[in-house]
Chains A and B, each alone.
Chain A
Amino acid sequence: MAESDPRIKMRFQFVKGDELKYISHLDTMRLLLRGLRRGAFPLVFSQGYHPHPLLGLSPPLPLGVTSEAEYGEILLREAVPPGEFMRRLNGCLPGGLQLVRAAEADLSEPPLMAVINAALYRAFPEGEEGREALEEGIRRLLERKEIPVIRKRQGKKPSRVDLRPHIFAIRVAGEEEPCLELLLRTGSSGGASPGEILRELPGKEGADGQLPWRLHRAGLYIYRDGFLREPM
């Protein structure tokens, strides 16, 4: 609950580059909050003993993945023109995390975290990889009715998950150097990470447990009735 009436909800899209692909979701949240404080924005705080600004972020980006389409939303007490918001906040953030778009959203709109449910990733194989081999790998993966994996999370019991229903589509793309495009379910109602899927791809097990792919998130979407819609 907010302690003073929020006037506006600012939504923004940001990119996360190579320099910052190794900071976690929580770190990203912290970084944005401190940027907002450095920029002296008129923040709206939650109530309670530890008041905190009301910042929401799109579903977590896996560690080691760059992105051109992350989203955030923050409640402000006073109107700030979106252009100025973006310029001022960018000045308070490092080069590896920068806003590319900002716009006011309706206060009644549901939080991004609740509606974003699809993520598009690009995976670039390290080293030479023939287009045919990739296509064959995908074909065999998608043939499977079930792709069961065991998920281990710190402090929790390992659980068994079927990845197959979380795959919307996978295809080979790229003009000269082939890459994979994976459209996967993400968000609060479950999903799969690109790393999990790629590990199941036949013939591409990495040495040292290292994933032989460079990963990039190219988009986050609201996927409904067969249509992909950008969040803003």
Chain B
Amino acid sequence: MADLREVLDKLLAQVQKPARYLGNEWNAVHKEHDSVAVRAVIAFPDLYEVGMSNLGWKVLYEAVNREEDLLLERVFAPAGDMEALMRRWGVPLFALESARPVKEFDVLGFSLQYELSYTNVLNMLDLAGLPLYSSRRQEGPLIIGGGPCAFNPEPLAPFFDLFLLGDGEEALPELLRAWAELTREHSGNRREILAALSRREGVYVPSLYRPLYRGKVFQGMERLDERAPERVRKRVVRDLDRAPFPCAPIVPYTGIVHDRAALELFRGCGRGCRFCQAGIVYRPVRRRSPERLKEMARELLQATGYEELSLVSLSSSDYPEIDALVRDLAAESPVEKLRISLPSLRLDAFSGALADQIRQERRGSLTFAPEAGTERLRRIIRKEIDEGDLYRAVGSAVEAGWKQFKFYFMIGLPGETERDVEGIADLVRRLLDHFAGKKERLRISVSVATFVPKPHTPFQWEPQLELSRVKERQRLLKAAFKGLRSVELSYHDAEASFLEAVFARGDRLLAPVLERAWRSGCRFDGWTEQFSLERWRAAFQEEKIHPESYAYRRYAYEEPLPWDHLSPGVKKEALLREHRRAWEEAQRHGGE
């Protein structure tokens, strides 16, 4: 089939932000389809502006496209107006670079970053003209998924052919080649090909496992094929210095969420906060050398023309000698007026020197995440910072000229009492008082999320706080912040966090719910203005599933978990020990 450019030209005249769908941005890779052995598309199930701000798939884009025999194009979730036009005109989901239907590619890979994008995944499969369930697809592209959600992809399991666990920059090119070879060898017999692929490290083929139930209670996974491993281990790239990195990433035309050059300092995080899934699934910590980073930064800036370099990692200020690195990057910059930003700062690793180095950014705000309002609760969640760290960090920043600060907290954390919630306001008040003598008042914004228990974390057994009580605590917080002028308080949508908790710990029984919710019109559930818990509740009801039993239940240590057969490299016993320690902390310091 020829490409769809002609009909697209008509569609684009009628949509908002047509620049999302052009595919010819600077550094986009265009390869001849006939010149390669395998053609793949990476799909990001959210809007262009969000997807283009994500670094994960860009690493894969580079890793695959630098290979001569492989090709990887992109597609994002079309916005509502575009979707309506595509359906009306019978235009299938198409890859941006070539404007060819996604259906014609060999492999379609979804980047699974958050649970609330799952309805978009189904919608994109449907727009592509593909059957939703993998059992109905004997031909057409292989549907794969990767990213943090692949560590418990069970609610999506029936829709996917396989998932890749862990780092993809080596695994994906290998998988694409293996797929092509096996397809030839087994003349397209899907089940055989998948079984053969399942022997590779990091590959999880859900159709080779069957969940067992008593009633609706999960009893464990049964393996249906000897070749599939009992426990799938994630892939890990050992040497980041030699791993591919997008030093010439695609530069969008239109404004996106994070429109800047991203430099990944290291992967993983050694901190071990007990609620944090990223801290577990991206282990171990692997650093890039300063030499390699400087080389990469130079290439990045020259190839993009960006004026801002963002040092990304789970907690960038933990990079050894971060001060020196930032200083060198600024000094050796190939572009003028470079701004360097650190989106993830640790309170206890933020120094005056660093504050000085990134001062060009001081017009914006500086972000810290104490997560909990009291020392007691911070110990329970193992966010080990004390108030002194906070004063020191803010103090250094104020010295260097910053006036705006953003703090992230969570409510509904295990062991939390109302006193801890009020503690958030107290902490902010003390901070304001501490810096009251300065000429200019600090401007503080406080953003409060709801705790979501995530698989593979020490808190995976914990219940989520019930919606009504979350709302109570939000009200409490609001009252506690009364009278704190110059502080702006905002919450994440508690209802969306509830759904996130359901799907984070979900199993395959949720797949029909997901399908139903999508059919009833759910899309972009991560966007407050489009999210409707009502529609979701109806879908759960129709399928006779109690979402509360996923989100609010305290899971027993002995009970098998739907993600036990997937391994991020940390043993369940280790998580269990950490969980026990959290409770010991709680007991030692009183509270609930």
Chain B residues closer than 8 Å to A188, beta-carbon distance: none
Interchain CB contact under 8 A, A23 and B303: no
Given A37-B305, A49-B363; A30-B336 close (CB under 8 Å): no
Known: A34-B251, A210-B10, A210-B13. A43 touches B304 (CB 8 A): no
Closest beta carbon of chain B to A90's beta carbon, Å: 13
Given A27-B253, A27-B254, A45-B336 in contact, is the A22-B14 Cβ separation under 8 Å? Answer: no
Write out the residue numbers on chain A whose beta carbons fall within 8 Å of the beta carbon of B10: 210
Count A/B pairs, Cβ under 8 Å. 65
One of B26, B255, B337 near A51 (C-beta < 8 A): B337
Which of A27, A33, A96 is close to B24, meaning CB atoms less than 8 Å apart?
A96
Q: Quick check: A26 and B255 within 8 Å, CB to CB?
A: yes
Judge whether B4 is part of the interface by a CB distance below 8 angstroms.
Answer: no
In the assembled complex, the CB of A119 is this many whole angstroms from the nearest CB of chain B, namely 19
The B-contacting residues of A in range 80-112, CB under 8 angstroms, are 92, 94, 96
Whether A31 and B253, one on each chain, are in contact in the complex, defined by CB atoms closer than 8 angstroms, is: yes
Q: Is the CB of A37 within 8 A of B253?
A: no
Q: How far is the CA of A208 from the CA of B253 in the complex (A)?
A: 27
Give Cα A51 to B363, complex, Å. Answer: 12
Inside 8 A of B320's CB, which chain A residues have their CB?
Answer: none
Q: Is the CB of B14 within 8 A of A34?
A: no
Does B18 lie at the interface of the complex (its beta carbon under 8 Å from any beta carbon of A)?
Answer: yes
Cα(A18)–Cα(B363), bound, Å: 39
Q: Across the interface, do B24 and A94 meet the contact criterion of CB distance under 8 Å?
A: yes
A23–B48 Cα distance when bound, in Å, is: 14
The 8 Å CB contact of B253, one of A30, A49, A50, A210, is A30
Interface centre among B305, B334, B335, B337 (most CB of A within 10 A): B305
> Could you tell me the distance in whole angstroms from the C-beta of B248 to the nearest C-beta in chain A?
10
How near does chain B come to A95, taking the closest CB pair, in angstroms? 8
Contact mask B298-312 → A, CB, 8 Å, 1/0? 000011111100000
Q: Please report which residues of chain A, range 8-44, place their CB below 8 angstroms from some CB of chain B when the two chains form the complex.
A: 18-20, 22-24, 26-27, 30-31, 33-38, 40, 43
Q: How far is the CA of A30 from the CA of B10 in the complex (A)?
A: 25
Q: A19-B24, A23-B19 are in contact. Are A37 and B307 (CB under 8 A)?
A: yes
A64 on the interface (CB 8 Å rule)? Answer: yes
* Residue ID in chain B nearest A215 by CB atoms: B13
| A18 / chain B contacts, CB cutoff of 8 Å | 9
Q: Is the CB of B304 within 8 A of A34?
A: yes
Q: Which residue of A lies closest to B26 (CB)?
A: A94
Cross-chain contact A211 with B253 (CB below 8 angstroms): no
Q: Are the CB atoms of B26 and A34 closer together than 8 Å?
A: yes
Contact call B305/A92, Cβ cutoff below 8 A: yes
Judge if A63 is at the interface, Cβ distance under 8 Å: yes
Report whether B254 and A23 are in contact in the complex, using a CB–CB cutoff of 8 Å: yes
Q: How distant is A195 from chain B, measured CB to nearest CB, in Å?
A: 10
The answer to whether A22 and B12 touch across the interface, beta carbons within 8 angstroms, is yes
Residues of chain A within 8 A of B307, CB atoms compared: 37
Q: CB-CB < 8 A to B19: which residues of A? A: 22-24, 27
The answer to whether A38 and B255 have CB atoms under 8 Å apart is no
Q: B221 interface residue, CB < 8 Å from A?
A: no
A36, A51, A211: the one contacting B305 at CB < 8 Å is A36
- Report the minimal beta-carbon distance from B63 to chain A, rounded to whole angstroms: 23
A interface residues, tally (CB under 8 Å):
31
Indicate if the CB atoms of B337 and A19 lie closer than 8 Å: no
Chain A residues near B255 (CB-CB < 8 A): 26-27, 30
Closest to B259 in A: A30
CA distance A94 to B251 in the complex (A): 11
Task: Verify if A209 is at the interface (C-beta below 8 Å from B).
Answer: yes
- Taking the closest CB of chain B, its distance from the CB of A183, in whole angstroms, is 23
Contact between chains at A22 and B305 (CB < 8 Å): no
User: Which residues in B have their C-beta under 8 angstroms from that of A30?
Assistant: 253, 255
Chain A residues with CB under 8 Å of B22's CB are 19-20, 22-23
Q: How far is the CA of A50 from the CA of B339 in the complex (A)?
A: 9
**Cβ-neighbour of B363 out of A20, A50, A94 (below 8 A):** A50
The residues of B that contact A92 with a CB separation of less than 8 Å are: 305
B480 smallest CB distance to A (angstroms): 34
Question: Given the complex of chains A and B, what is the CA–CA distance between A22 and B10 in angstroms?
Answer: 11
B303 / chain A contacts, CB cutoff of 8 Å: 38
Contact indicator per residue, chain B 169-209, by CB within 8 Å of chain A (1) or not (0) = 00000000000000000000000000000000000000000
User: Which residues of B, 59-113, contact A by the 8 Å Cβ criterion?
Assistant: none
Residues of the B chain whose Cβ atoms lie less than 8 Å from the Cβ of A49: 363
Residues of B within 8 A of A40 (CB): 302, 334-335
Q: Once the chains are docked, how many angstroms separate the CA of A33 from the CA of B253?
A: 11
20 extra interface residue pairs, beta carbon distance < 8 Å, beyond A20-B253, A63-B18: A20-B24, A22-B18, A23-B254, A27-B253, A30-B253, A31-B26, A31-B253, A33-B305, A34-B26, A34-B251, A34-B305, A38-B302, A38-B305, A45-B337, A49-B363, A50-B363, A64-B12, A94-B25, A94-B26, A210-B14
Residues in B lying within 8 Å of A, measured CB to CB:
9-10, 12-14, 18-19, 22, 24-26, 251, 253-255, 302-307, 334-337, 363
28 A-B residue contacts at CB 8 Å?
A18-B9, A19-B22, A20-B24, A22-B18, A22-B19, A23-B19, A23-B22, A23-B254, A24-B19, A24-B254, A27-B254, A27-B255, A30-B253, A31-B26, A34-B305, A34-B306, A35-B305, A37-B305, A38-B302, A38-B304, A51-B337, A63-B18, A92-B305, A94-B24, A94-B26, A96-B24, A208-B14, A209-B14
Interface residues of A (CB under 8 A from B): 18-20, 22-24, 26-27, 30-31, 33-38, 40, 43, 45, 49-51, 63-64, 92, 94, 96, 208-211
